[in-house]
């Protein structure tokens, strides 16, 4: 059985690589940019971002595209007309965008079934949390080849660094009626500690993530009915203009578009502000809401280009969603997505 599964995995991966090559060989579109313009934009971002983030009006920067084959430097602002940026700096176009402040999404009233208590094995994309946390979302079932884990955020599973290995994780979360230990479906296994800004000094984070030890009997690898189903086991790098989908505790199934990559952002937590680098920005009103933290973001396409893991949702604003690139997350814990 293991030999068959390994062979199937290798054949599937080969087909995915062929599909990727076909995409890269296709005609350039409005979201494409030259490598030279990307390098200029990245250099400008590195040069200016720290100084800009010291301003109260600026909450982040990212690489975007102008639709004419050039990368641009996006600057995210808390309100309109707060600062007057020149159109070009250091040879790159500057594009401002009002997002409002970014926040690690605290829970709010749910609109969809993900708040329910599910029979075991529970689906992914539904309410969960540490007993001291209101509620977030189970992102995916992941595996190291021997053990099975649930994936979500540090601030969902590990209570902003406050959790300890072996703590129960609940489905649903406390805000949705979950009780410890009756509703435990796994135990905290590992998390990446969050670093918070102190006296204006910010050590950059790359992920807000944690994993809980569980079993296939307690956790399934598909969303509830009406979602995207089971994610693929093969990831894909985020690209500007990529259409993505997710299923989360509060807003259920939604579709959005990647509008920023290589983002550096300041994110508000209840325990302070944390700076993140190399993040993904997704545009789409209503793509996520409070309580969707921890959702797995996957590609939306056809055949092998569909349902490939892209990012782990952890924060957002009124019109934007922020995600960690999924390869950073999986690499940190030495796991892969257990999908179909």
Cβ partners under 8 Å of residue 136, min gap 6: 105, 107, 127, 128, 129, 152, 153, 155, 156, 157, 173, 249, 291, 292, 293, 294
Share of the chain above pLDDT 90, in %: 83
For the chain, domain boundaries: 35-100, 110-214
The domain 35-100: what is its CATH number?
3.30.300
Is the pLDDT at 112 greater than 60? The verdict is no
Looking at the DSSP assignment, which residues form a beta bridge with residue 265? 60, 276
pLDDT for 23 beyond 90: no
Task: Report the percentage of the chain scoring pLDDT > 70.
Answer: 89
Confidence band for 200, pLDDT divided at 50, 70 and 90: confident
| pLDDT band, residue 167 (cuts 50/70/90) | very high
Average pLDDT over residues 251-279: 97
Q: Which two tokens stand for residue 190?
A: 């590992």
In sequence order, which residues have a C-beta less than 8 Å from that of residue 279 and are 6 or more positions away? 62, 262, 263, 264, 265, 322, 323, 324, 325
- Residue 160 has a pLDDT of 97
CA distance 290 to 153: 13
Question: Is the model's pLDDT at 81 over the cut of 90?
Answer: no
**Rounded to the nearest 5 degrees, what angle is found at the Cα of 52, between the Cα atoms of 153 and 242?**
50
Residue 9 has pLDDT above 60, yes or no: no
Rounded average pLDDT over 318-329: 96
Q: Is 149 exposed, middle or buried (0-12, 13-18, 19+ CB in 10 A)?
A: buried
295 token code pair: 């959702």
The answer to whether 292 and 246 have CB atoms below 8 angstroms apart is yes
Say yes or no to pLDDT of 110 above 80. Answer: no
pLDDT > 60? residue 235: yes
Q: How confident is the model at residue 13 (pLDDT cuts 50, 70, 90)?
A: low
| Angle in degrees, CA 284, 171, 144, rounded to 5 | 80
Domain 110-214 carries which CATH code? 2.40.10
Mark residue 159 as left, alpha or beta (left: phi above 0; alpha: psi -120 to 50; beta: remaining).
Answer: left
Question: What is the average per-residue pLDDT within 81-107?
Answer: 90
SS3 category, 63: strand
Tell me which of 313 and 12 has the higher pLDDT: 313
Give the Cα separation of 123 and 109 in Å (integer).
20
Gap between the Cα atoms of 267 and 104, Å rounded = 7
CA distances, 239 to each of 47, 170, 242, 281, 327 (Å): 23, 34, 5, 10, 14
- Range 91-107 average pLDDT: 91
Q: Residue 8 above 60 pLDDT?
A: no
Average pLDDT of the residues of the chain: 90
Give the DSSP H or E segment for 265.
Answer: strand 252-269
Mean pLDDT for 157-166 is 98
Q: Which band of pLDDT confidence, cut at 50, 70 and 90, is reported for residue 26? A: very low
The angle subtended at Cα 299 by Cα 254 and Cα 62, nearest 5°, is: 90
Neighbours of 166 (CB within 10 A): 9
Q: Is the pLDDT of residue 63 over 90?
A: yes
Q: Which of 133, 132, 138 minimizes the C-alpha distance to 117?
A: 138
pLDDT at 127: 95
């Amino acid at each position: 059985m293991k030999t068959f599964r390994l062979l199937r995995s290798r054949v599937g991966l080969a087909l995915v690589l062929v599909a990727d090559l076909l995409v890269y060989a296709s005609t350039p579109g409005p979201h494409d940019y030259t490598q030279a313009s990307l390098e200029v934009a990245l250099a400008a971002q590195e040069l200016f971002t720290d100084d800009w983030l010291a301003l109260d009006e600026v909450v982040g920067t990212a690489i975007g595209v102008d639709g004419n084959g050039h990368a641009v430097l996006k600057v995210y602002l808390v309100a309109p007309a707060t600062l007057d940026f020149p159109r070009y700096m250091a040879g790159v176009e500057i594009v401002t965008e009002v997002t409002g402040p970014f926040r690690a999404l605290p829970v709010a009233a749910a609109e969809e079934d993900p708040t329910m208590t599910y029979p075991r094995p529970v689906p992914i994309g539904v309410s969960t949390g540490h007993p001291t946390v209101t509620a977030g979302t189970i992102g995916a079932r992941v595996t190291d080849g021997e053990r099975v884990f649930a994936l979500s955020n540090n601030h969902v599973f590990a209570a902003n660094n406050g959790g300890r290995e072996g703590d129960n994780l609940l489905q649903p979360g406390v805000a949705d009626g979950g009780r410890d230990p009756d509703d435990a479906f796994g135990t905290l296994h590992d998390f990446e500690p969050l670093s918070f800004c102190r006296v204006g000094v910010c050590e950059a984070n790359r992920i807000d993530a944690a994993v809980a030890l569980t079993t296939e009997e307690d956790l399934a690898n598909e969303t509830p009915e009406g979602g995207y189903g089971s994610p693929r086991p093969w990831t894909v790098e985020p690209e500007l203009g990529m259409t993505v989908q997710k299923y989360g505790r509060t807003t259920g199934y939604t579709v959005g578009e990647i509008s920023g990559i290589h983002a550096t952002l300041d994110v508000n937590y209840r325990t302070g502000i944390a700076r993140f680098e190399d993040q993904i920005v997704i545009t789409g009103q209503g793509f996520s809401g409070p309580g969707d933290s921890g959702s797995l973001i996957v590609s939306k396409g056809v055949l092998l280009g569909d349902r490939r893991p892209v990012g782990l949702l952890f924060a957002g604003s009124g019109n934007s969603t922020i995600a960690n690139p999924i390869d950073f997350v999986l690499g940190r814990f030495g796991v892969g997505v257990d999908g179909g």
